[in-house]
Structure 1
Amino acid sequence: MPVPKVKHVRASVVRGGGGDYHDQADGHWIDDHVASPMARYPEYRASRRAFGIDVLGTLVVEVEADDGTTGFAITTAGEPGAFIVEKHLARFIEGRPITEIERAWDQMYFATQFYGRRGLVVNAISAVDLALWDLLGKWRGEPVHALLGGPVRDELVFYATGARPDLAKQMGFIGGKLPLQHGPAEGEEGLRRNLAKLAEMRSRVGEDFWLMWDCWMSLDLDYATRLAWGAREHRLKWLEECLSPDDYWGQAALRKALPPGMLLTAGEHEATRWGFRLLLEMGCCDIIQPDVNWCGGLTELLRISALADAHGAMMVPHGSGPYSYHVVCTRQNSPFTEIILTAPQADRVQPAFHPLLLDEPVPENGRLKVSALDRPGFGVRLNPDCALHRPYPR
C-alpha cells in the first residue's frame, strides 16, 4: 500500500482549559496563591493569572494526509504558536510522506534554531510532531505505543497533583503533589505556613503515602535548602523544580544539600536532549520530568528517555495525558506517572485536557490498564463543542 503524503497542516487556537490547563475560571486551586517567580512582587502573589500565565491559550495542530486520514495534537502556544506552524513549520511537512517524522523534526528544529531552541517554538514543534505520530498510528490502525515497540507493563500507576493529597489518597493514587504556596518574599511566616500545610497533610494521609512539593521555579538555593530540611520530619518524597530552569549550577548544589533520602526532580520547563543532557551530566536531579507537549514532542522524548536510562535516572513525564501515557507504558525507566487534577477543588478525577479532548482515558483507583490505550494513534478526538479559531489560514 503506498504511503500517503501530508496534504494540509492547520493550526488553530482554543480557550478555556485543554492544552493550557492554567486557562481556568476563578476559584480554581491551580491559581490560588501558588508560589511563582513573580511572587516577589506583591501584586502578582495571590494569582498566577495576574501576571499572565493564561495568556497563550491552547494550540491545536491538525495534519491531514492526501488519503483523508487526519492526526492532531495540542500544546500551550496559542496564536503565536499558530503563526509559527502555519508560516514556517508547515513547509517541512506538507508534500512529504507521513512516515518521515524523524526528518521533519530535524528540519523544524534546525530551521528555527536562530530564533527558537526552546519555549514557544519548541512547543509548536512538539504539537506538529505529536500530530504526525497520531496520523501515522491512525493510518496504520495501531496505537502509538505499538509503534514504539509495545508495552513493558499491563497498567500505569499514577500519583496526583493537586491541592488535596488527602483526597488523592482516597481516590487510590500512590502519592499527592502539593503546589507550594509561599515563596522567599513571604519570609519566615510563609515558610512556617508551608511546613504547617505539609504537616497537616501528612497527618491526614498517614506515613506511607507519598507527599511531594511542586515549587514551580519560585525559590532560591537558601530557601529551598531550609524548606527541605524543615520538611524532613514529614517524610517529603521530593522537591520539584525549585529554581530557575536555567540555574543548572544551583540545582546541582541543591541536590547535594538535601536531607538523605529526599529526591530532587526537574525538567518540566526544560526542552530537547541538550537541555536534559545538562541536567543529567551536572547531577541536577534524581528524576527528570519532561513534558512531551513542550520538550520537542514524542520524537525528542524518546531520545531524552534513552539519555536518562544511560544515566541510571528515572523519567517521569510531567502530566500530559495520553500523549505521555503511550510512552510511559513502553519505558522501563518510567515506573509511574502523573495526572494533574484539573477539577477546580481537586476532588475528582477528570480527563487531563478536559474539555478539549474526547475519549481520553482516566485512571481508576490510581491505575490505568494499558488496554485502554489501544485505539489507533493517541486514541482521542477533538470535542466539537470547543470552538477552534484558525488565525492564519493559508
Structure 2
Amino acid sequence: MAMPTIKAVRAYTVRGGGADYHDTQGYHWIDDHIATPMARYEEYRQSRRSFGINVLGTLVVEVEASDGTIGLGVTTAGEIGAFIVEKHLSRFLIGRQVTEIEKIWDQMYFATQFYGRKGVVVNTISGVDIALWDLLGKLRGEPVHALLGGPVRDELQFYATGARPDLAKEMGFIGGKLPLLHGPAEGDEGLKKNIEKLADMRSKVGDDFWLMYDCWMSLDLNYSIRLAQKAQEFGLKWIEECLSPDDYWGYADLKRNVPKGMLVTTGEHEATRWGFRMLLEMDCCDIIQPDVNWCGGITELIKISALADAHGKLMVPHGSGVYSYHFVITRHNSPFTEIIMSAPNADEVRPAFSPLLLDEPVPVNGRMKASALDKSGFGVRLNPEVQLHRPYAS
C-alpha cells in the first residue's frame, strides 16, 4: 500500500505546563533561588520567572496525513514557533511522503539558517520532526523505538532532577541531581552554602547514591573548579552545565581541572550535530546531554548520538520525557536517563508533559519496562481539556 502524503500542518500554543515546564504558577522548586546567568543582578536572583524563563510557552505541532492520521510533537517555542511552522516550514511538508523525514529536516534547517541555527528556530524544527516520527510510527503501527532499531535492553533506569534527592532515593531512582542555588555573585558565603547543601544530602542518601549538581550556565571557570574541588569530599558524581554553552574553551579547561573521577557534563542548551561536534572534538565533557525537543528532534539526535559513540562518550538526554525514552532504550551509549520532578516539592513522580499529554508512561521504582513504550508512534495524545490556540492558521 502506498505511503500517505502530508496534507496539513497545524501549530498551536499552550500556556501553563506542557513542554515549557517553567510556565507554572505559585511555588515550585524549579523557580526557587536557583543559580542562573542573571543571578549577577540581585533583582533577578530569587526567581527565574522574574527574568522571563517562561515567556515562550509551549508549541504543539500536528502533522496530518492524507488518510487522516495525525502525528503530534511538542516543544518550547510558543507563538514565535507557531509563526515559523505555519508561515515558513509548512511549505516543506505539504504534499510530501510521510517517509521523507531526512529531506524535510534538511530543507527546514537550511531554509532557516539565515535567522536560525540554534535556539527557538531549532526548537521549532524539533517539534515538527517529532511530529513526523510520531506520524510514521502510527502509520506503520509501530513504536518509534522500533523505527530506530529496537530496544537494546529490557528496561530504562532513571535518575531524578529536583530539590529532594533524599526522596528520589526512596522512590527507587539511581541518583538525584540538585539545582545549584548560589552563584559567583553571592561570593564565598554562597559557595559555602552550596557545599553545605551537598553535604546534607550526602548524609541523608548514603555513600552509594549518585549526587550531581546542575549549574545551569551560571558559573565562571574559576568558581566551577573551586566548587568541583570542594564537592569531591562528598562524592559528587558530576558537575553539569557550569558555563555558557558557547564557551567550549572553558569547558575544555574545566574537564582538565576537575578532580579525577568526577564527570563534566553539558549540552542541554546545545543544538545540532555541529554544536555537539565542537563539544566532542574539543574534549569538553564526559557526557553530552542534548534535549530532543531543542537539539533538532529525533532525526538530529541520531547523528549526535553516533558522534558521541565514535568519541567514546555517553549521551544522556536532558529530560524530554517519552520523546527521549524511545531513543535511549535503543542506544548502548545511553545507559540511563533523566526525569525532571515536576511536582512543586519534588515529592512525587508525574508525567513530563502533564497536563498537556495523556498516556505518558512514568518510571516505577526508578525503572520503566520497554513494554511501556510499545504503543504506536510515541504513544501519547493531546488532553482534550487543554485549551489550544492557533494564532497563525495558514
**What range describes the TM-score normalised by the shorter chain of this pair?**
over 0.9
Q: What is the deviation of 1:25?
A: 1.3
Distance 1:87 1:42 in 2: 40
1:129 equivalent in structure 2? 129
Counterpart Cα distance in 1 of 2:372 and 2:74:
20
**Displacement over 3 Å in runs of 4+:** none
User: Matches of 1:112 and 1:266 in 2, distance apart?
Assistant: 25
Q: Distance in 1 between matches of 2:279 and 2:360?
A: 32
The one-letter code sitting in structure 2 at the alignment partner of 1:290 is P
Cα distance in 2, alignment partners of residues 234 and 188 from structure 1:
18
SS of residue matched to 1:386: coil
TM-score by length of 2: 1.00
Q: What CA distance in whole angstroms lies between the structure 1 residues aligned with 2:271 and 2:375?
A: 28
Partners of 1:224 and 1:24 in 2: CA distance? 30
- For 1:231 and 1:62, the matched residues in 2 are separated by 45
Residue 280 (structure 1) aligned with residue 287 (structure 2)? no
Tell me the secondary structure at the aligned position of residue 273 of structure 2.
helix
Q: Match for residue 72 of structure 2?
A: 72
Provide the residue aligned with 1:14 in structure 2. 14
Per the TM alignment, residue 26 of structure 1 is displaced from its structure 2 partner at its CA by 1.7
Query: Alignment partner of 1:308: what SS?
Result: helix
Distance 1:329 1:92 in 2: 30
Q: Which amino acid aligns with 2:125?
A: I
Matches within 5 A, 1:356-375: 356-375=356-375
Report what 1:24 is aligned to: 24
Distance 1:138 1:3 in 2: 12
CA distance in 2, matches of 1:23, 1:170: 28
Look up the SS of the partner of 1:20 in the other structure: coil
Match of 1:235 in 2: 235
State the 1:354 CA deviation: 1.0
CA distance in 1, matches of 2:27, 2:190: 21
Aligned to 1:387: 387
1:9 is paired with a residue of what secondary structure? Answer: strand
Report what 2:223 is aligned to.
Answer: 223
- The whole-number CA distance in structure 2 between the counterparts of 1:23 and 1:154 is 34
**CA root-mean-square deviation:** 0.4
AA in 2 matched with 1:218: S
Which residue does 1:293 correspond to in 2?
Answer: 293
Choose 287-296 or 22-31, whichever is displaced more: 22-31
Gaps of 5+ in 1: none
CA drift at 1:48:
0.2
Deviation of the 1:177 alpha carbon = 0.1
Residue identity in the other structure for 1:263: L
Shift of 1:72: 0.7
Distance in structure 2 (CA, Å) of the matches to 1:383 and 1:47: 29
1:299 Cα deviation from its structure 2 partner: 0.2
Q: How many matched pairs?
A: 394
Distance 2:346 2:384 in 1: 26
Measured against aligned partners, the alpha-carbon deviations of 1:163-199 in whole angstroms (never above 9, x if no partner) come to 0000000000000000000000000110011000000
Deviation at 1:263, TM superposition (A): 0.2
Q: Secondary structure at the match of 2:327?
A: helix
1:113 alignment partner in structure 2: 113
Cα offset, 1:114, TM superposition: 0.6
How far off its partner does 1:28 sit?
A: 0.2
The separation in 2 between residues aligned to 1:156 and 1:391, in whole angstroms, is 38
Report the alpha carbon displacement of residue 348 of structure 1 after superposing the two structures with TM: 0.3
* 1:91-133 Cα shifts (integer Å, max 9, x gaps): 0011101000000000000000011001000000000000000
Give the drift of 1:8. 0.4
